[in-house]
Structure 1
Amino acid sequence: MNFLIEAVNENLSQRDDLMQLIGNNSIKKMKDNHENHAGFMYNSFKVKSEKLFINTIIWVYRTYKNHGFSYQYFPVELKARKSAVNNNLSSEN
C-alpha cells in the first residue's frame, strides 16, 4: 500500500496545476490525506463492506472539499490512483 501512496504523491506533486487543485493546503496535508484515505479503503476492502466503501468515498469527497480542495482534484487523484495500481500490481492482485 505504501508504494501505491508514494506513486500517487509523486504523480500529483509533479503537476503544474497542483496548487489550484489543493487550494491553500500544503503538499504535506495532501500526502497525509492520501495515506489516511488508503487506510480507509484498505479496511473497507478487508471487511468486504460496500456500505463502508461508499460512505468512505462520500466522506472523503466532502471533507477534502470542505478543506479547500478543488472539485477538479478528485478525477485527477483517481486517475493517479488507477495509474499506480495498473503500473505496480499484477493482474492477480
Structure 2
Amino acid sequence: MKKENLLKTAKQLVQPSVESTSEFSQKINMLVDNMNNYMLKRPDINDLVGEGNLEMMKDNHSNHARFMESVFINYEPEILVDTVLWVFRAYRSRNFSSTYWAAQLNAWMNIYKTELSEKTYTEILPFYKWLQVNIPVFNALAEHAIDAPLSSH
C-alpha cells in the first residue's frame, strides 16, 4: 500500500462532535497518566521501547494525546497521515519496536472505553482502529523511506 491509499482511507474518517472533543480535552491529562501507568506495568516494556527510553515513551503518550486532540478539533487527513508516518520514522530510529504501536493503541482503546462516555468512545474509536489496521503500512513506509522528506504541512 502506498501513502495515497492511506490518505484515501483516512478521508473516510469522520471528525468527532464538539461535545466528544470537549470531553476528550477535559480528560486528556488523566488519560495520559493512565496510559503511562498502564504501559510502565508491562513486563515487556523495555523490549517494546528499547532500553533507556521510558521517558521518551511518556513524552510520546503526551504528544500523542495532544495531537489526537488537534485531529479531533480540526481533522485534516493529510496531516494525520504525514504526522503518523513521521512518528514511525522518528521512534524507529530510537529503537522502539514495531510491536510497540499495537500495544500502545490497544492500551489507549482500553483506557478510553473505561474513562470516556460511550458517545465519545464511539466517535474516536474509528481513528484508533484505522491507525491499528494500518500499522504494517506505516512500518513498511517508514522502513523504506527513512530519509524521505515529509510534505510541507
TM over 0.5: yes
Name which of 19, 28, 39 aligns with 1:12.
39
Q: Any idea what SS the aligned residue of 2:119 has?
A: coil
Q: Which aligned runs of 4 or more in structure 1 are off by greater than 4 angstroms? A: none
2:100 matched to which residue of 1? 73
Deviation string for 1:9-54 (max 9, x for gaps)? 1111000000011113332211011111221221122112111122
Q: Distance in 2 between matches of 1:66 and 1:41?
A: 22
Higher RCO (CA-CA < 8 Å; seq separation 6+): 1
How many angstroms apart in 1 are the aligned matches of 2:118 and 2:77?
22
Q: One-letter code of the match for 1:35?
A: S
Could you say what the CA RMSD is over the residues aligned between the two structures, in angstroms? Answer: 1.2
Residues matched between the structures, number: 93
Pair 1:58-2:85 in alignment: yes
TM-score (norm 2): 0.57
TM-score (norm 1): 0.90
Q: Which amino acid aligns with 2:72?
A: F
Structure 1 unpaired stretches of 5+: none
Gaps of 5+ in 2: 1-27, 121-153
* Residue 68 (structure 2) aligns with: 41
